[in-house]
Amino acid sequence: MEPGRDPFLTAVMDHSFSRMPRRSRTHLPFLSMFQQRVMLDILTHITQERPYRTVMGEELGWGACRTLLRSARDAGFIETVTPSVYQIHPTLPWFYGRQINQQLSPAAVRQLEQEFVRVYADTADYFMETLYENQDSGTTAVLLEEGNLTQALGLALEDQQWDTAQILVQPLAQVYRMQKRFPELRRLRRQLLQDIVPDGGGAAEAEPKGAIELWLYLMGTEASEATEQLNLEYAEDLNQQLMAYLESQPEKESDPRTAAVYHQMGVLEQHRLRLDAAEEWFQKSLAIIENGEDEASTADDYYCIGQVKQNQRFYTEAKEWFSKALDIHQRIQDPEELVKDFRALGLASQYKFEYDEAESWYHRAQAILEDNRDEEMATLVYHELGTVFHARYLFQDAESWYQQALGLAHRLGMDSQMAVEFHFLGLLAMARGLGYEVAKEWFELALEKREQLGDHRAAGDECRQLGVLLHEENLLDEAEGWYQRAREIFEEIRDVDRTARTYGQLGKVAEDRGDLSAALEWATRTHGLATEHQLPVLTPAKAHLASLRDKYGEDNFRTWWRGFTGGEPPEDLDQAAAED
């Protein structure tokens, strides 16, 4: 008796098994390979193949497999889910595993395991195709077979079938990502890496054992996920390891995998706002793949270069790159990417004040999303349409779109987007002159939602926005209170740019009170942060200091500055004031 097993339950199972027909007793132990569920079609597929017939002495057709599963159901070992899917009792793999090991030699069991792995690798390959063609049905299929895919993956790793392991892990990883099961995905990926490179030797350890392709896949997906989660240093380290291997290969200048790493490096630099460096990486990627067959990846590079140009305020160039991506996505008919292109073109058009064109792009995105009943993305497009009408001063239309977005976000449980809509309805109330109390209510709703979500940066933004609102109403004490709350948040999360801007606003409040000494202190702190970190707020900070200097008197200003900072005041304040 195995330790930890209930002897009474084991005795009952032994008795039930002994009363089954001989054919059932011969074939049912094979079900020890399966976890959680067994599908009639897959069992039939395996049992009709030569390896099974060689080991078990006969093959089983569809009818024989159905009879076999029904006999197991009648004996209490499995339960019917559908006429072709059966739920496996948790004791079944152990019990039948004991039976099969008594019945067959280790070599015969291994042969059956290899066949199980082969069939599930084919199944996994099919699941990947299904996920691309029909995401919902593909996800359902993978979840139904998650236990068996994991079982096959474990057996493949034991047998060091690295290429097969990659095929098996891909649909699991895809579904885990789609369902945001990130902790499970990371555990799975890192366990695989531990199996491939237990000594941490990277490519040098993986390549001799034939596992380099799996290593590249795992490292690439880990790097991509780290970038998405803004773990940028870790992502860069992973990408550098990938580049070191790929750039050492003879085909480095034509290998699309090298281009994929270059693309990821570009995305990294985008997050760091190093836009020129980002574009260089995307161009390096394009140099490899632009004239090849991978049009989707080429379009990704085009799109990202468009984002770079947009962030650099080169909106015409941005639209040209987005349009190049759009041409490809229209050719390959990728609705999800088309929506992304339409939205990007809409935003670039807005930045160029081409509001009619922007509206047209957003409506094209809206049509696809509503046809596909993608309400979550439709919520975002409704919001974007609201911003177009807001910018045109068509406030009733803007409010209608914001309210549509808010209603959908509430129904779908999109709390973060609800906060966005509250914020913009507050901005709209300010623009319409409805009274600061109305705008204040919207901003407070947004703040409450941000705090519930634990989004400290966005909560700080709402506090600062409330400060701006009350500052405009000349309610200086209340405005200062909100600015101070924002400052505390931004200092705590170490957001230097937002901290500097909030210091500047506190300086403006002090100036409006006539407290020039406090205003100088806040403006100097703004200038110090902006200079140290080369922040965009540097020019207005200098202009504010110049204005305060003129009010305070140049000699008094110089004396104050020396006393506060221990150094000489900056000499370029007047130039900045002229530029501001």
pLDDT of residue 3: 47
Residue 22 — pLDDT band, cuts 50, 70, 90?
A: confident
Q: Quick one: average pLDDT of 331-351?
A: 95
Residue 305 — pLDDT band, cuts 50, 70, 90?
A: very high
Cα separation, 48 vs 64, in Å, equals 11
Inform me whether the pLDDT recorded for 15 exceeds 70: no
CA 232 to chain centre: 14
Inform me whether the pLDDT recorded for 325 exceeds 60: yes
Any idea where the domains of the chain sit in the sequence? Answer: 7-175, 180-293, 305-368
pLDDT of residue 278: 96
- Cβ neighbors of 76 (< 8 A, separation 6 or more) are 16, 89
Query: What HEC string does 362-408 produce?
Result: HHHHHHHHHHCCCHHHHHHHHHHHHHHHHHCCCHHHHHHHHHHHHHH
Residue 71 — pLDDT band, cuts 50, 70, 90?
A: confident
- Name the one residue in this structure whose structure tokens are 């200038």: 527
Inform me whether the pLDDT recorded for 73 exceeds 50: yes
List, for residues 481-511, the tens digit of each pLDDT value. Answer: 999 999 999 999 999 999 999 999 999 999 9
Q: Residue 494 class from Cβ within 10 Å (0-12 exposed, 13-18 middle, 19+ buried)?
A: exposed
**Given strand 85-88, what is the order of strands in its sheet?**
37-39, 85-88, 78-82
Inform me whether the pLDDT recorded for 580 exceeds 60: no
Percent of the residues in the chain that have a pLDDT greater than 70, as a whole number: 94
Cα separation, 537 vs 500, in Å, equals 8
Q: Would the CATH topology of 180-293 be identical to that of 305-368? A: yes
pLDDT of residue 578: 52
What single-letter DSSP state applies at residue 159? T
Inform me whether the pLDDT recorded for 319 exceeds 70: yes
Cα separation, 112 vs 53, in Å, equals 10
Q: Which contiguous run of DSSP H or E holds residue 37? A: strand 37-39
- Please give the CATH number for the structural domain made up of 180-293: 1.25.40
The three-state secondary structure class of 39 is strand
Whole-angstrom distance between the N-terminal and C-terminal Cα of the chain?
84
Which residues is 82 bridged to in the sheet?
85
Q: Which two tokens stand for residue 416?
A: 């973060």
List, for residues 348-401, the tens digit of each pLDDT value. Answer: 999 999 999 999 999 999 999 999 999 999 999 999 999 999 999 999 999 999
pLDDT of residue 1: 43
Which residues is 38 bridged to in the sheet?
86
CATH class of 305-368: mainly alpha
pLDDT of residue 4: 47
Cα separation, 296 vs 331, in Å, equals 10
Q: Which contiguous run of DSSP H or E holds residue 30? A: none
Inform me whether the pLDDT recorded for 5 exceeds 90: no
List, for residues 183-217, the tens digit of each pLDDT value. Answer: 999 999 999 999 999 988 899 999 999 999 999 99
Residue 60 — pLDDT band, cuts 50, 70, 90?
A: confident
Which residues is 79 bridged to in the sheet?
87
Amino acid at 74: D
Q: Residue 354 class from Cβ within 10 Å (0-12 exposed, 13-18 middle, 19+ buried)?
A: middle
Most trustworthy range by pLDDT among 30-44, 86-100, 397-411: 397-411
C-beta of residue 258 within 8 angstroms of C-beta of residue 297 = no
Cα separation, 154 vs 160, in Å, equals 10
Q: Which of 401, 405, 348, 337 has the alpha carbon at shortest distance from 372?
A: 337
Chain-wide mean pLDDT for the chain?
91
Inform me whether the pLDDT recorded for 131 exceeds 60: yes
pLDDT of residue 56: 87
39: phi then psi, degrees, rounded to nearest 5: -100, 135
Q: Which contiguous run of DSSP H or E holds residue 530? A: helix 516-533
Amino acid at 4: G
pLDDT of residue 280: 97
Inform me whether the pLDDT recorded for 20 exceeds 90: no
C-beta of residue 16 within 8 angstroms of C-beta of residue 28 = no
Q: Residue 9 class from Cβ within 10 Å (0-12 exposed, 13-18 middle, 19+ buried)?
A: exposed
Inform me whether the pLDDT recorded for 297 exceeds 90: yes
Among 58-62, 96-100, 124-128, where is mean pLDDT lowest?
96-100
pLDDT of residue 411: 96
Inform me whether the pLDDT recorded for 91 exceeds 70: no
Q: Quick one: average pLDDT of 87-114?
A: 81
